[in-house]
Amino acid sequence: MKSTIHEFQKIKVMSKKILLITIISLSILSCSKKENATTVDELIKAGNVKDLQTKKGVIQADLAKIDEALSKLVDVKNQEALVSVLTVKDTTFNHYLEIQGNVDTKENILVQPEFGGNLTSLTVKAGQRVSKGQILGRVDDAGMSQQLASLENQYALAKTSFERQKNLWDKKIGSEIQFLQAQTQMVSAQKAVAQMRAQVSKTLIRAPFSGTIDEVFVEKGQIVSPSPQGLMRIINLGNMYVSTSVPETYIGKLKVGTEVDVFLTSLGKTYKGRVRQVGNYLNPNNRSFGIEVSVPNPENLLRPNQVAKLKIIDYTNKNSIVVPSNVIQEDGTKNKFVFTVTNSNGKTGTAKKVLVKIGKSSDNVTEIVSGLSANDIIVIEGVNTIADGMKLNF
């Protein structure tokens, strides 16, 4: 008997809903025909913005009326729904600026010879570790070594002559002009030796910094000269960073030392980095400035030109209420709301619509500025199937 009565009540409610929807729909259709017989498609095709905005307002107002009428007609107190709930707590909320950048290192260069000629020596190969200043190869000096030896002999002779002339001058023997001439000859010979040594040293190819020889492009005996290709590439993977551009709205929010999460898509790994440089120049084309984020590379997995996703904290609230973003809904009047649980005994309760004011969103959660307090119970699954005042099971 009870089951029959319950079924009759359900049929009665559904009949009222269908009747109301039919009446309102006919009313909307009638009003639409009176006000403007033009269809939405025709308005869109004509690009009539004013009439489209008017029609949108009418439809939204009518939908709000339908929602209000249904909430009065449907007896939600006698309906039940199975949902999942969550007790909200005070927590720290971080909002992130998420941007993309490229991994790079300033110690990644093509080694060029300073002196052109025959490559008489090549002492390294690809994959070899080298130290700063280590000799990597040598170019034929075209006889400059012999010239250097000759100049060194001339310098030695000039130095001996000067020392003897100085001893005589100290004993007041000889003229001052002889002493000065000997001194000038010695200094000139010394400078000539220094210049030739500098030229000869350019035939030696040295490592500009400690790192790894990544590629070697030449062979011993080959004629080489300074060129865009270079002789070899040397890279140091111990000083890696990510460079990117940040919108100008973040000026003053990003500082040297700010912690950054660096996610490498190709590796599936996240590294903890820090902002090491903030640019002072604002690009007028995209209204952004550059930053560099230093990234540790303990496993030597980072490589220049890898793509990185940066998450930089630009807002923090240490005492915040946050909820999953998908539980926040919007009614016909543009108010944001969530469903909380009242009269809870741990297994059942009653749904309550609570208007909320939201803040920032990040990582699929949203900050609630007002409307909720710590220890409030909210519905997180089944929110689209419940109404204010409905009995909930969880």
Q: What is the pLDDT of residue 380?
A: 93
| 245 and 101 belong to one structural domain | yes
Q: What is the pLDDT of residue 7?
A: 45
The residue among 226, 258, 282 that closes a domain is: 226
| 246 and 103 belong to one structural domain | yes
Phi, psi of 361 (to 5 degrees): -125, 145
Q: Which of 49-63, 66-80, 110-124, 287-301 has the lowest mean pLDDT?
A: 66-80
| 353 and 305 belong to one structural domain | no
Do the domain assignments include residue 115?
no
Mean pLDDT of the chain: 85
Burial degree of 211 (CB within 10 A; 0-12, 13-18, 19+) = buried
Asked if pLDDT for residue 337 goes beyond 70, the answer is yes
| 88 and 179 belong to one structural domain | no
Which residues have a Cβ under 8 Å from the Cβ of 304 and sit 6 or more positions away? 103, 104, 105, 108, 235
Q: What is the pLDDT of residue 33?
A: 45
| 102 and 246 belong to one structural domain | yes
What is the spatial distance between Cα 287 and Cα 246, in angstroms, rounded to a whole number? 9
| 219 and 292 belong to one structural domain | no
Asked if pLDDT for residue 20 goes beyond 50, the answer is no
Q: What is the pLDDT of residue 316?
A: 87
H or E element, residue 41: helix 40-46
Which residues have a Cβ under 8 Å from the Cβ of 198 and sit 6 or more positions away? none
Kindly report, residue by residue over 155-198, the tens digit of the pLDDT: 999 999 999 999 988 888 888 888 899 999 999 999 999 999 99
The CATH number that applies at residue 85 is 2.40.420.20
Do the domain assignments include residue 190?
yes
271 contacts 295 by C-beta, under 8 angstroms: yes
Q: What is the pLDDT of residue 42?
A: 76
Do the domain assignments include residue 116?
no
In the structure, what pLDDT confidence band is assigned to residue 136 with cuts at 50, 70 and 90? very high
The domain tally of the chain equals 4
Instruction: Single out the residue of 151, 300, 283 nearest to residue 237, CA to CA.
Output: 300
| 220 and 193 belong to one structural domain | yes
Do the domain assignments include residue 112?
no
110 contacts 233 by C-beta, under 8 angstroms: yes
Report the chain's terminal Cα–Cα distance, integer Å: 29
**What's the half-sphere exposure (Cβ side, CA atoms, 13 Å) at 277?**
14
Average pLDDT, integer, range 304-323 = 91
The residue among 270, 294, 315 that closes a domain is: 315
Asked if pLDDT for residue 32 goes beyond 50, the answer is no
| 135 and 216 belong to one structural domain | yes
| 378 and 306 belong to one structural domain | no
Do the domain assignments include residue 35?
yes
| 87 and 101 belong to one structural domain | no
| 65 and 23 belong to one structural domain | yes
Asked if pLDDT for residue 38 goes beyond 80, the answer is no
Do the domain assignments include residue 117?
no
Q: Which of 18-27, 155-164, 218-227, 334-343 has the lowest mean pLDDT?
A: 18-27
The residue among 280, 315, 350 that closes a domain is: 315
Token pair 């200094």 is at which residue?
Answer: 187
What is the spatial distance between Cα 8 and Cα 18, in angstroms, rounded to a whole number? 15
Report how far apart, in Å, the C-alpha atoms of 4 and of each of 9, 15, 48, 92 are: 9, 16, 54, 53
Average pLDDT, integer, range 300-319 = 90
- Residue length of the chain: 394
Q: Give the DSSP per-residue string, 276-338.
A: EEE--PPBTTTTEEEEEEEE--TTS---TT-EEEEEEEEEEEEEEEEEEGGG-EE-TTS-EEE
Q: Which of 21-25, 30-34, 162-166, 377-381 has the lowest mean pLDDT?
A: 30-34
Report how far apart, in Å, the C-alpha atoms of 241 and of each of 82, 98, 271, 293 are: 51, 17, 11, 5
Q: Give the range of the structural domain holding residue 347, as residue numbers without chain letter.
A: 77-93+318-393
Do the domain assignments include residue 132?
yes
Do the domain assignments include residue 114?
no
Q: Which of 18-22, 209-213, 289-293 has the lowest mean pLDDT?
A: 18-22
59 contacts 39 by C-beta, under 8 angstroms: no
The CATH number that applies at residue 303 is 2.40.30.170
| 289 and 243 belong to one structural domain | yes
Average pLDDT, integer, range 23-30 = 50
